[in-house]
């Protein structure tokens, strides 16, 4: 399917790049161009920054009911175009059709949730101990936000930033990944169709020198927010802190442990572990990387994972109904293949898969590798693909040390039927999320990491705080 040429969305208008530059969006299923996008110049970036600055002045002063009316209008427009948006995601990153539903509902749910959440906010009174003054804390819109978005969930990632920003009264510049910018550009088109207030939402994509660095180094943004790798977050902080003090909200890479004890519901653990590696082709920040399995059940667990991988239908297209699609880009195929080869060099045994799939498209076999070296260096690497590293352990004291031996701290998983074991790991695991005997995510549940996995949270009422300033007002009696 071809989507044609898509323009930048700046100051309420759809425009080509000032220098005429374009960029091909490649479908990872067949390596052909599915669309071209306007590729922003430095001049375009400056226009977006100025537009967002002026947009904030208007948007932040709108009465709340008017702001919410516009958000609802945008949400309804997205719902009208669900088929288009989900199809664009499928083609821009090879996502299976069923998987595109989570992307789409995430943005519509975010717009609705934060519209409701902002109405619950109010002034907070602080008692005066001496009775000489009154005090209250008020919340006000922060300013311009810049959002750098990862390629793995194009609309989910966008929605997690757009919802709280708009509800809080902030304007926003959305910078999607060059690997999956199509759906974001279509969002710009839909904003233009409903004449969304100018400058409040801007959508641009381009290279680092012309877009990334100018966005960061400008004094206009008050918040830099992103979903992506730890390395990218470090660069953004360095670049943006040169010129002004800014806020940061960043969900970075993970290296999730998946711990299974001998008393666990093994079938449930196998089902979830396999699903998280097959789903979105393992390109999920919270997907387990390191499967720590009790030595008495490791062979049974490995056989179960291998069976799930063997039965996974790999392919592309709505009619084919595959379980797993391609990786998002060629670079990912090379990276995943190198990780597999390095794991083998470090003593790992490939139980299934381990190779790119021949033919057109960026496909890679779902792969299970069993490692005997519990401290293998490769276990420090975030995989971001359909590879399960399976490692034995003996005791809970041993595995808690292994699990926490990482600079990352996003998600973690534990399977056991022993309540004391679950309580022990809930306390001891150094991760922002501890999932016990299952998994759940939703817009009302906080999502964030510790250590090098990020600053702040996405989702929940807590995410709204990143887009608001707290002001104390004190009056003498």
**285 has catalytic annotation:** yes
User: 3-state class of 389 per DSSP?
Assistant: strand
| CA-closest candidate to residue 336, choices 350, 314, 354, 319 | 354
Q: Name the DSSP class of 356.
A: B
DSSP letters spanning 274-292: HHHHHGGGG--TTSEEEEE
Q: Active site residue: 92, 117, 178, 251, which one?
A: 251
Q: Name the DSSP class of 209.
A: I
Q: Active site residue: 170, 216, 285, 459, which one?
A: 285
Pairing of strands 133-141, 468-476: antiparallel
Which residues have CB under 8 Å from 252's CB, separation 6+? 228, 229, 230, 232, 233, 285, 408, 410, 449, 452, 453, 454
Q: Which tokens belong to 305?
A: 């994972």
Q: Which tokens belong to 85?
A: 């948006």
Rounded to 5 degrees, what are φ and ψ at 176? Answer: -75, 165
CA–CA separation, 454 vs 248, rounded Å? 9
Tracing tokens 């306390």 back to the chain, one arrives at 427
**205 has catalytic annotation:** no
CA–CA separation, 443 vs 222, rounded Å? 24
Which residues are known catalytic residues?
Answer: 251, 285
């Amino acid at each position: 399917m071809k989507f044609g040429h898509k323009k930048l969305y700046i100051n309420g208008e759809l425009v080509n790049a000032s220098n005429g530059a374009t960029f091909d969006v490649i479908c990872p299923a067949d390596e052909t161009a599915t669309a071209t996008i306007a590729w922003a110049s430095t001049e375009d970036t400056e226009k977006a920054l100025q537009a967002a600055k002026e947009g904030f002045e208007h948007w932040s002063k709108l009465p709340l009911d008017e702001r919410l009316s516009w958000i609802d209008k945008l949400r309804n427009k997205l719902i009208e175009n669900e088929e288009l948006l989900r199809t664009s995601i499928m083609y821009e990153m090879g996502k299976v059709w069923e998987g595109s539903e989570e992307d789409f509902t995430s943005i519509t749910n975010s717009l609705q949730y934060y519209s409701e959440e902002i109405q619950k906010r109010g002034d907070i009174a602080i008692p005066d101990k001496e009775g000489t003054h009154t005090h209250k804390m008020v919340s006000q819109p922060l300013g311009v936000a810049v959002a750098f978005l990862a390629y793995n969930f194009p609309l989910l990632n966008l929605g997690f930033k757009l919802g709280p920003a708009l509800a809080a009264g902030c304007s926003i510049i959305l910078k999607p990944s060059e690997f999956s910018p199509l759906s974001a550009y279509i969002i710009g088109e839909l904003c233009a169709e409903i004449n969304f207030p100018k400058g409040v939402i801007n959508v641009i994509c381009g290279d680092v020198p012309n877009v990334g660095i100018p966005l960061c180094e400008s004094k206009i943004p008050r918040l830099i927010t992103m979903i992506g790798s730890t390395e990218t977050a470090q660069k953004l902080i360095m670049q943006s802190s040169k010129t002004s003090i800014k806020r940061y909200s960043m969900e970075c890479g993970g290296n999730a442990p998946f711990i299974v004890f001998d008393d666990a519901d093994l079938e449930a653990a196998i089902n979830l572990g396999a699903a998280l590696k097959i789903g979105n082709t393992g390109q999920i920040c919270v997907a387990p990387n390191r499967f720590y399995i009790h030595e008495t059940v490791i062979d049974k667990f490995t056989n179960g994972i291998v069976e799930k991988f063997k039965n996974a239908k790999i392919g592309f297209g709505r009619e084919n109904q595959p379980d797993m699609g391609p990786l998002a880009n060629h670079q990912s195929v090379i990276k995943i293949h190198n990780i597999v080869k390095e794991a083998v060099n470090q003593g790992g045994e490939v139980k299934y898969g381990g190779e790119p799939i021949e033919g057109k498209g960026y496909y890679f076999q779902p792969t299970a590798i069993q490692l005997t070296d519990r401290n293998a260096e490769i276990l420090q690497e975030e995989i971001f693909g359909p590879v399960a590293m399976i490692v034995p352990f003996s005791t809970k004291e041993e595995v808690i040390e292994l699990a926490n031996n990482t600079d990352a701290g996003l998600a973690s998983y534990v399977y056991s039927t022993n309540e004391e074991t679950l309580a022990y790991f809930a306390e001891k695991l150094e991760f922002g999320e501890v999932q016990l005997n299952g998994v759940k995510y939703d817009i009302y549940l906080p999502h964030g990491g510790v250590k090098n996995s990020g600053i702040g949270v996405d989702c929940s009422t807590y995410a709204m705080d990143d887009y608001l300033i707290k002001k104390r007002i004190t009056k003498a009696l």
